[in-house]
Each structure stands twice: as structure tokens, then as C-alpha cells.
DNA sequence: ATGAAATCCGATGTACTCAA
DNA sequence: TTGAGTACATCGGATTTCAT
């Protein structure tokens, strides 16, 4: 089997970087197509090439005491430099390897000494803004099990699109969308056009891939409910340039406002996305956060309103991970089959 | 104008009935 | 006892409605 090894220099981050802490601190690492391999402390998933339509699977790991990450690219023995750059860029985004990220982590840990002790602060994210945004919606109005199922369904859908090699170019009108969707439906069992890229596992879909789909089909196929509409709205807004990720801090408020305008995007989802982008101004607090404060801190009165202004909340985020680990063992060593159990409130978890 | 409370959504879970 | 079938409750952000 062909393999290509790449290196990503840690630079400023080399002293503080811890692979396990950088990945297993957020539910995102359990969601498809991410696969965490506890035994080797490495992360496996497909990443996009420079053309962003093809993907290759990679395994990212950190050899102890080395100032760089090793990225094993599967299925090829060499790549054009543009593709190598694209892969490195995505890995850097996921694990927050940049001077700016390192600065953020240090600032945060100065504020909270306990975070520094625990090595908490480098919050895991996706290789793309779109994936972060969609996964944030998947967290809403449903249990954790369903969140995982929806993410997986989206990846399986992407695999099918990639294997069928359907070209979505120039199908922006409604009627063409239907035709495209129809072709996709009929492609389900065709093994015909397998390219040199192994697309069988499926990557997370891009905004381009989703924008051309019929809403009803997307909903039915991935069991998304009302989220299908929200996701498509977002995908189309990104496609026509209305919304774009910006690293510029001054435009963060604007991005937040734009996200709030998408139907189905409320404060929780948008704050969550902003945190991924690198703006920690607003703290996403969900029912799990509230439950945590109630149970662990005995704050019976705690509700949606009292929680938002409390700076203490930041602490509770840290503690939430610790509490889970008390219940389920160290998250990074958890078997992927048990991911759906990880929540404090669900009955299925308590029965164990 | 503020913010509390009711309602929405669809999958999932629970309690109960009835037939074989 | 087992299974199918039904009705109803639950979940939890988002959104709308309503009261102050």
C-alpha cells in the first residue's frame, strides 16, 4: 500500500502541544469522519486535496519530543505541492497550530491556572469552517446519538457523490437540482467509476457538494429534520460569497450577525461556530452546561438566563470533560462504539 | 423594550392494550 | 411469554407569543 509521509512543524506550539489533549477535548472528535485511535494516539480521517473535490485519508500523529507532527497520507507515494500544502493547512486548522492559536491558548491558560495544569485550551475543530458550522447545527435539538448518526450519514452521502463522480457544475436552478439529486439516487449501487482515490469511507461534504442537493432528499437521506433547510441555506450563502470565514477579529461581530440570519441558527450554534473561528467573546452554553452546574455546583436556580453572564462558566467547560471522564473513563481511550453514551443526562448512559 | 413562558420540530422512549 | 400496535411523553435549542 502506497504511503506518503509529511511533516508539519509545530513552531511556537512545540512546547505546549499535546496530541491527545488537542483532539479529545470536544465532542467533535467523535463525529464522522474523525476517527481517534487511542492505542497510537493518532487521528485518522480523509482530507481534501487542493481541488477540494478529491479526498485522501491521512493519519496524524505526534512522535514524542519531536517539534513536528507526522502526517501519513494513504494511497499515494507522492503528491503535487499544492495538494501537500492543502493537507498541511487542514491539519493545522484542526489542531490549531499557528502563532495566533498559540497566543490564544496561552492567554486562556493565564486566566485559568487549572486549565494550564490539565493541558486544556487547544479546542479541537474541523478542517473547514463549513464542517464546523454544520456540526454545530447537528448538536441542536437532539440527543448525542442522533448527532453522531447525522454526521455519519452526511459522510456516507459524500462518499456516494464522490464515487459516482457526479459533476455538480452549473446546476444552480431548482429543476436542475432535482435532476442532479435524481441521478445521485440512481447511482447508489454503481461500482463502476472508482477512481484512484479511495472514496469509500466518505469525507464530510463541502458547501459546494451540498448546495446542489434537493432539500427533501437531503433530509430524508440523512435524517436531518429541520436542519436540512438550515444547512442548505448556509451552504448556498457560502457558495455565493455572502458568508465567509474571516480571521480578522474586527469582522467577527459581522460574521456572527450573518450567521444568526440563517434560519435555525440561534445563539448557541453561532457562539459555537465563533469559538471555532477563534472568537471566544460569546460562550456557547447548552443544556449539558446547565445540567453540569446544577448537579456539580448545586446551583439549583441555574437556568438559561443566569448562566450566560457567569464567567464561571468557562471553568465549568473544563470540568465537564473531567466529569465525563469520571463516568466513562478517559475519553481518548473510549471505544468508538460507546461514543453515543457520552452525556450526563441521557437515560441510556445512566443505566450502565 | 425587556425577558419570561409557551410552542415548535421529529426521532426516540415509555406505558399500555390486545391478540396469538 | 412474546410480539405488534397505539397513544402519549420527552428531549432541547429556536422561535414566537405574551406579560410586564
Write down which residue in A95, A117, A139 finishes a domain.
Answer: A117
Residues 107-146 of A with CB under 7 A from strand B: 141-143, 145-146
Within a domain: A233: yes
Are A220 and A315 contained in the same domain? Answer: no
Nucleotides of chain B touched by protein CB (<7 A): 3-4, 9-14
Task: Based on the fold, state whether residues A104 and A133 are members of the same structural domain.
Answer: no
Res A128 pLDDT > 80: yes
- Residue A336 is assigned to a structural domain of this protein: yes
Are residues A147 and A210 both part of a single domain? yes
Between residue 198 and residue 227 of chain A, the positions with Cβ below 7 Å from nucleic chain B are 223, 225-226
d(Cα A344, Cα A292) in Å, to the nearest integer?
8
Query: ω into residue A313 within 30 of 0, thus cis?
Result: no
Using an 8 Å Cβ cutoff, are A24 and A332 in contact? yes
What residue has cell string 439516487? Answer: A185
Nearest-nucleotide field for A306 (CA, C1'): B3
In angstroms, the CA A47 to CA A71 distance is 11
Give the number of domains in chain A: 3
Q: Is residue A122 part of a domain?
A: no
**A161 CA from C6 C1′ (Å):** 39
Nearest-angstrom CA–CA distance, A74 and A60: 11
Burial pattern A73-103, b for ≥16 Cβ within 10 A else e, equals beeeeebeeebbebbbebbbbbbbbbeebbe
- Say how far apart CA A295 and CA A302 lie, in whole Å: 10
Half-sphere exposure of A245 (CA within 13 A, CB side): 19
Shortest CA distance to A187 belongs to which of A208, A212, A214, A158?
Answer: A158
Which tens digits make up the pLDDT trace of A13-72? 888 899 998 888 777 888 889 999 999 999 999 999 999 889 999 999 999 889 999 999
CB-CB neighbours of A148 under 10 Å? 19
A287 touches strand B (CB under 7 A): no
Residue A350 lies in a domain: no
Same domain, A153 and A27: no
Q: Are residues A134 and A271 in the same domain?
A: yes
Torsion of CA A71, A21, A142, A352, to 10 degrees: 110
Residue at minimum CA to C1' distance from nucleotide B3? A305
- Whether residue A351 is contained in a domain is answered as no
Q: What is the pLDDT of residues A259-285, one digit of tens each?
A: 877 877 777 777 778 777 777 766 666
Q: Is the CB of A321 under 7 A from strand B?
A: no
CA distance A237 to A208: 10
Asked if A280 contacts A100 with a C-beta cutoff of 8 angstroms, the reply is no
Structural domain range at position A312: 287-345
Looking at the structure, do residues A60 and A136 belong to the same domain, yes or no? no
Q: How far is the CA of A246 from the C1' of B20 (A)?
A: 65
> CATH number of the domain that A202 lies in?
1.10.340.30
Q: Which positions of chain C lie under 7 Å from any protein Cβ?
A: 11-15
pLDDT at A146: 77
Q: Phi, psi at residue A303, to the nearest 5°?
A: -145, -175
Assess if residue A102 is contained within a domain: yes
Domain boundary among A214, A241, A275: A275
Compute the distance between CA of residue A54 and CA of residue A248 in angstroms, rounded to an integer.
29
> Comparing A351 with A256, which gets the higher pLDDT?
A256
- Separation between the CA of A45 and the C1’ of C4 (whole angstroms): 42
The separation, in Å, between residue A303 CA and nucleotide B4 C1' comes to 12
A345 Cβ contacts chain B strand, under 7 Å? no
Kindly state whether residues A18 and A109 are assigned to the same domain: yes
Please give the nucleotide, over all strands, whose C1' is closest to the CA of residue A224: B10
pLDDT digit string (tens) for A204-222? 999 998 887 887 788 778 8
Same domain, A140 and A213: yes
A59, A86, A117 - which closes a domain: A117
Q: Of all protein residues, which has its CA closest to the C1' atom of B9? A: A226
Both A78 and A53 in one domain: the answer is: yes
| Distance of A251 CA from B19 C1′ (whole Å) | 66
Is A291 contained in some domain? yes
What span, in angstroms and rounded, lies between the C-alpha atoms of A342 and A143?
A: 10
Residue A317 confidence (pLDDT) above 70: no
pLDDT, residue A271, reads: 76
Q: Which of A88-97, A260-269, A286-295 has the highest mean pLDDT?
A: A88-97
A66 and A146: one domain? no
Q: Does A158 lie in the same domain as A133? A: yes
Q: How far apart are CA A227 and CA A223, in angstroms?
A: 9
Bridge partners, residue A9, by sequence: A68
Regarding whether A209 and A164 lie in a shared domain, the answer is yes
In a domain, A209, yes or no: yes
| Gap from A343 CA to B12 C1', Å | 16
Amino acid at each position: 500500500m502506497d504511503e506518503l509521509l509529511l511533516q508539519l512543524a509545530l513552531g511556537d506550539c512545540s512546547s505546549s502541544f499535546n496530541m491527545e489533549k488537542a483532539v479529545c477535548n470536544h465532542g467533535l472528535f467523535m463525529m464522522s469522519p474523525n476517527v481517534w485511535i487511542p492505542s497510537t494516539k493518532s487521528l485518522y480521517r480523509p482530507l481534501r486535496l487542493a481541488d477540494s473535490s478529491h479526498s485522501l485519508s491521512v493519519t496524524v500523529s505526534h512522535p514524542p519530543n519531536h517539534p513536528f507532527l507526522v502526517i501519513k497520507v494513504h494511497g499515494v507515494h507522492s503528491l503535487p505541492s499544492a495538494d501537500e500544502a492543502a493537507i498541511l493547512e487542514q491539519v493545522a486548522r484542526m489542531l490549531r497550530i499557528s502563532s495566533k492559536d498559540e497566543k490564544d491558548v496561552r492567554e486562556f491558560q493565564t486566566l485559568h491556572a487549572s486549565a494550564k495544569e490539565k493541558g486544556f485550551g487547544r479546542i479541537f475543530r474541523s478542517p473547514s469552517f463549513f464542517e464546523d458550522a454544520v456540526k454545530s447545527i447537528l448538536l441542536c435539538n437532539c440527543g448525542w446519538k442522533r448527532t453522531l448518526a447525522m454526521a455519519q450519514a452526511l459522510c456516507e452521502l459524500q462518499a456516494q457523490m464522490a464515487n459516482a463522480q457526479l459533476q455538480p457544475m452549473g446546476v444552480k436552478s431548482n429543476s436542475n437540482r432535482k435532476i442532479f439529486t435524481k441521478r445521485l439516487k440512481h447511482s447508489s449501487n454503481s461500482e463502476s467509476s472508482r477512481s484512484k482515490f479511495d472514496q469509500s469511507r466518505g469525507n464530510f461534504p463541502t458547501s459546494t457538494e451540498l448546495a446542489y442537493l434537493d432539500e427533501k432528499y437531503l433530509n430524508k437521506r440523512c435524517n436531518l429534520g429541520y436542519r436540512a433547510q438550515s444547512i442548505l441555506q448556509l451552504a448556498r450563502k457560502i457558495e455565493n460569497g455572502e458568508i465567509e470565514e474571516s480571521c480578522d477579529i474586527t469582522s467577527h461581530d459581522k460574521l456572527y450577525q450573518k450567521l444568526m440570519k440563517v434560519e435555525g441558527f440561534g445563539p448557541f450554534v453561532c457562539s459555537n461556530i465563533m469559538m471555532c473561528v477563534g472568537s471566544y467573546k460569546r460562550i456557547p452554553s447548552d443544556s449539558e452546561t446547565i445540567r453540569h452546574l446544577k448537579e456539580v455546583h448545586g446551583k439549583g436556580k441555574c437556568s438559561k438566563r443566569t448562566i450566560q453572564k457567569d464567567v464561571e462558566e468557562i471553568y465549568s467547560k473544563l470540568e465537564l470533560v473531567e466529569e465525563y471522564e469520571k463516568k466513562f473513563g478517559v475519553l481518548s481511550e473510549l471505544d468508538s462504539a460507546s461514543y453515543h453514551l457520552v452525556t450526563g443526562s441521557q437515560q441510556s448512559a445512566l443505566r450502565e
